[in-house]
Structure 1
């Protein structure tokens, strides 16, 4: 009979890694349908859409490479947030800065984008892994998701 030795720290790391993989898979599963819907509407195509953990941004765009990065933390947010960030980054392929032209694109494509942005930014960019299970999405974001 063998004995296994585990430490709380190791178990926490293992749980965090499993959870991060699940979040990544969740976002990756949503991306093809969102890209299929939004690339033609925005009039652009991306060479690559990838997911990574970011500390200060919801997404980023490499315009010359036509590559979009989405923050892994979006998996913990309502779908309206992911859609807003994806459209925002796609629009950057037309317009590099957040000028009036960029805002006009966003207004035409996603009329409630400012509400989605504001609701997304009200929540912390990242949560501690152990605390996310007890948190519920904002009712305001739920209203955005349901179109109210």
Structure 2
């Protein structure tokens, strides 16, 4: 079992499963043997948590859908920016060529809710830094989505038909992005 133990100023043991890893938060001074007993006592609950976690389809500490080992958030962000920029350069060039739509600028930003934003009047597109965690086909769908917004501002039938025209499985990929 992949496990991480974090000692902190709390009163009782907390067990979570994040990205397939069991994370145990325990009060300072808690012995490893006591933590093992608590884990043993809660085996069935941990299995439930693992199942729920797997369904969430999280991509924490992933690069293009693959798990990576990084020492700290600063290094992870640097990797995300560098690698995502390289992929975005290729994908924007590809989809600008086949759609005939062109962004005036593409910026990578930290965003809390959206994968991307488009400002049709200025032609500017922002892409969420966290998109670097997702598989390439999902990044590709976001690039296409934002470019199509240069032509259609709303998410109406014409907008979706345009996306499907260039990416037949667009709706399936968009559904994965919402999980």
Q: Same fold (TM over 0.5)?
A: yes
Larger relative contact order (CA 8 Å, sep ≥ 6): 1
Detail structure 1 runs of 4+ shifted over 4 Å in the superposition: none
Aligned mate of 1:25, from 71, 82, 86: 82
Q: Which has the higher helix share?
A: 1
Q: Which runs of 5+ in 2 are unaligned?
A: 1-70
Quote the RMSD (CA, aligned, Å): 1.2
| Deviations 1:20-65 (CA, angstroms, capped at 9, x unpaired) | 1110111101112111110021111111111111101011001111
- Find the residue that maps to 2:127 and give its secondary structure: strand
TM-score, normalised by the number of residues in structure 2: 0.59
C-alpha distance in 1, partners of 2:79/2:140? 19
C-alpha distance in 2, partners of 1:107/1:61? 19
Q: Does 1:61 find its partner at 2:121?
A: no
Q: Which residue of 2 aligns with 1:3?
A: none
Q: Which runs of 5+ in 1 are unaligned?
A: 1-13, 123-148
Aligned mate of 2:72, from 15, 40, 47: 15
Q: Which residue of 2 aligns with 1:36?
A: 93
Q: What is the number of residues matched between the two proteins?
A: 109
What pairs with 1:112-131 in structure 2 (closer than 5 Å)? 112-122=169-179
Q: Does 1:82 find its partner at 2:139?
A: yes
- Find the residue that maps to 1:61 and give its secondary structure: strand
TM-score, normalised by the number of residues in structure 1: 0.71
